[in-house]
């Protein structure tokens, strides 16, 4: 696997080019057609227009409902996401010896860009010329601080019993940890779910009095979203690129079934949140305010 460039600029492009160079042109193009077809099916899945999105955007849920949703969402995806991302890096070893020596490194390099965001790093150099970052800004702790601002105690977090739909999502992703291509596909679908629901969750959280101009909801969504510094669309594209390197024809059907089943689970999860929560009209403006 020979690289065509030694430049340190454009790291995402460098990694994708290296992955392309590790497979034949025909294989890359065939896999790209498959992943593009699957992406189109994701874009037309009912999850993209779930009715709860409008309710969340309009602040239709009480603060207790928003607390419950966050506790369920925490178990369904937030707590396990970086575990899955790191497992994908480990399971890239499945590329060898089928592909040339070193072929596992470009996708690991690419997935690291996602992990750096998740762990609290930021582009640039610090005052000593080293990496910029602080685990205080890692996404999972940022989510915990949303719970703090929603006045969810540590005891409430520890005693919360996730519902069956949250458990199903958690376990479905965890059960894919051994399967490199399956895990990449589910992570890509998870990123799409985050892209769809982050703006609505951000609005619902703001409308019960929590500041969302920084923290977890500032770093989730797409790079085109206003008032955020989010790159979930880039990370999703990187996961599809890693699949373009890794796929073989015999996994196509299995991956499509798994991704659509995972999205069906997400639809059921959000339907359960809508049905189980007591909806209320938006709070009057004079009752809103940042919670301690």
* DSSP reduced 3-state for 291: coil
The reported pLDDT for the residue numbered 288 is 42
pLDDT at 284: 44
Q: What is the pLDDT of residue 210?
A: 92
Which DSSP helix (H) or strand (E) runs through 148?
A: helix 139-149
Helix, strand or coil for residue 132? strand
Helix (H), strand (E), coil (C) string for 235-279: HHHHHHHHHHHHCCHHHHHHHHHHHHHHHHHHHHHHHHHHHHCCE
- What pLDDT is stored for residue 286 in this prediction? 37
Q: Residue 233: its pLDDT value, please? A: 74
Q: What are the residue ranges in the chain where pLDDT is below 50?
A: 222-223, 230, 279-292
- At how many degrees (to 10) do helices 164-174 and 79-91 cross? 20
Q: Which fold has domain 15-123+137-279?
A: Heme Oxygenase; Chain A (1.20.910)
Instruction: Give, in order, the Cα–Cα distances in Å from 260 to each of 42, 148, 290.
Output: 7, 34, 38
Q: What is the pLDDT of residue 291?
A: 38
Query: pLDDT tens across 43-87, in order?
Result: 999 999 999 999 999 998 999 999 999 999 999 999 999 999 999
Judged by DSSP in three states, 123 sits in strand
pLDDT tens digits, 180-197: 999 999 999 999 999 999
Strand runs labelled E in 19-168? 121-125, 131-133
Residues 6+ positions from 112 with CB-CB distance below 8 Å: 89
Segment (H or E) for 185: helix 180-206
CB atoms under 10 Å from CB of 103, counted, come to 22
Q: Which residues contact 46 (CB under 8 A, 6 or more apart)?
A: 267
pLDDT score recorded for residue 230? 47
Query: Where are the chain's structural domains?
Result: 15-123+137-279
Give the Cα separation of 173 and 153 in Å (integer): 27
Sign of CA dihedral 27, 28, 31, 37: negative
Angle at 203 between CA 163 and CA 189, to 5 degrees: 55
Interhelix angle 105-119/232-246, nearest 10 degrees: 160
């Amino acid at each position: 696997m020979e690289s065509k460039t030694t430049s340190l600029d454009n790291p995402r492009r460098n990694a994708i080019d290296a992955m392309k160079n590790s497979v034949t042109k025909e294989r890359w193009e065939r896999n790209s057609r498959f992943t593009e077809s699957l992406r189109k099916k994701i874009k037309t899945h009912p999850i993209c227009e779930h009715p709860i999105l409008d309710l969340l955007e309009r602040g239709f849920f009480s603060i207790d409902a928003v607390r419950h949703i966050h506790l369920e969402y925490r178990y369904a995806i937030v707590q396990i996401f970086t575990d899955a991302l790191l497992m994908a890096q480990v399971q890239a070893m499945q590329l060898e010896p089928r592909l040339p020596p070193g072929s596992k490194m470009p996708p690991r390099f690419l997935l690291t860009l996602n992990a750096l965001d998740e762990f609290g790093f930021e582009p640039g150099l610090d005052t000593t010329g080293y990496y910029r970052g602080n685990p205080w800004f890692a996404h999972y702790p940022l989510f915990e601080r949303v719970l703090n601002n929603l006045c969810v105690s540590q005891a409430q977090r520890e005693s919360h019993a996730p519902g069956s739909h949250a458990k199903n999502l958690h376990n479905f992703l965890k059960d894919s940890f051994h399967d490199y291509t399956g895990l990449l596909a589910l992570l890509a679908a998870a990123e799409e779910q985050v892209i769809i629901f982050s703006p609505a969750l951000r609005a619902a959280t703001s409308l019960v009095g929590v500041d969302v101009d920084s923290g977890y909801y500032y770093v989730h969504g797409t790079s085109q979203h206003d008032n955020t510094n989010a790159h979930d669309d880039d990370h999703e594209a990187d996961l599809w690129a890693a699949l373009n390197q890794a796929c073989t024809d015999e996994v196509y059907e299995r991956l499509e079934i798994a991704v659509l089943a995972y999205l069906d689970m997400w639809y059921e999860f959000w339907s359960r949140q809508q049905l189980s929560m007591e909806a209320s009209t938006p709070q009057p403006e004079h009752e809103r305010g940042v919670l301690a």
